[in-house]
Structure formats: structure tokens, C-alpha cells
Structure 1
Amino acid sequence: MASVAAKVMSTVSAPYGVPVTAEQLAEKIADIKSAESCDCSVFAFLSEVSPKLQHSFIDEMNVSKDAVTSVARKFSDLAGYKLPLAI
């Protein structure tokens, strides 16, 4: 696992005990269903991982930036505040 993914996964998985791999998280952050189901690992990624590390993870995992932005916007609406990727 690359260092970017390892850093992200330690932030997302460790505090919440969420058993998710980097590949699974990459799929989830680009899937609007994650916002509809209030997936805690995706919300942790969007709210607790630094924006710089978020962008690095998205690039490293080859995730659609547009898809992640859509998910972030939906989570922003649900949370009531703007998340960094909800541009």
C-alpha cells in the first residue's frame, strides 16, 4: 500500500474501526450511494483527511474527481457545512 493510501486509511479506519480497504474507499468516495447511506468511512475521508491528502489519494487511486465532488456536495448538504471537496 502506498504511503498516501496508508495515511488516509489510518485516518479513516483506525478511529472508527471501519474495515475498509483503500480500494473499497476509492470506490465509495465516488459513489453517490455512499452519501445516501451516510457511509461513515466516506464522511471521515471528506471531513477528517486534509484536502491535500484527499487530492493525492484521489489521484493515486484513479478516482473521478467529478464523482467525488458530487458525493462531497451531498455530504455537505447533509452535514450543514461546506466540505473541502464540495467545490
Structure 2
Amino acid sequence: MASVTAKVMSTVSAPYGVLLTAAQLAEKIADINSADSYDCSVFAFLSEVSPKLQQSFIDEMGVSKDAFAEVARKFSDLAGYKLPLAI
């Protein structure tokens, strides 16, 4: 597991006891249904992982930037404050 992926997964998984793989997280951060279901792992990624590390993970995992931006915007709206990569 790459350093970027390890850091992201420990931040997202450990505090919430969520067991998922990097590939599963990559799918979730590009799936608008994650916002509709208030997925805690996606919100943790968006709010607790640094924007630089988020971008590195997105690049490393080949996540669609457009799909991710849509999910981030929706979570930002739900949270009531601007999340760093919600452009």
C-alpha cells in the first residue's frame, strides 16, 4: 500500500471502525449516493484528510475529478460549510 493510501485509510477507517479498502473508498468518493446516504467514511475523507493528501489519493486511485467534485459539493452543502475541494 502506498504511503498516500496508508495515510488516507488510517485517517478514514480508524476513528470510525469502518472497514473498507482503498478501492472501495475511491468508489465512494466518486458516487453521489454517498452524499445521499451521509456516508461517514466519505465525510471523514472530505473533512479530516488534508486537501493535498485528498488530491494525491484521487490521482493515485484514478478517481474522476468531476464526480469527486460533485460529491464534495453535496457534502459541503449538507455540512453547511465549505469543504476544501468542494469547487
5+ residue gaps, structure 2: none
Matching residue of 1:48: 48
Matching residue of 2:33: 33
Matching residue of 2:10: 10
In the superposition, the TM-score normalised over structure 1's length comes to 0.99
* 1:37-76 mapped onto 2 (5 Å cutoff): 37-76=37-76
Question: Match for 2:35: what amino acid?
Answer: A
In the superposition, the TM-score normalised over structure 2's length comes to 0.99
Deviation string 1:10-34 (CA, Å, 9 cap, x unpaired) is 0000011001110000000000000
Question: Match for 1:57: what amino acid?
Answer: F
Alignment length, in residue pairs? 87
Moved over 2 A (4+): none
* 1:16-27 mapped onto 2 (5 Å cutoff): 16-27=16-27
Cα deviation for residue 85 of structure 1 reads: 1.1
Identity of matched residues, % = 86
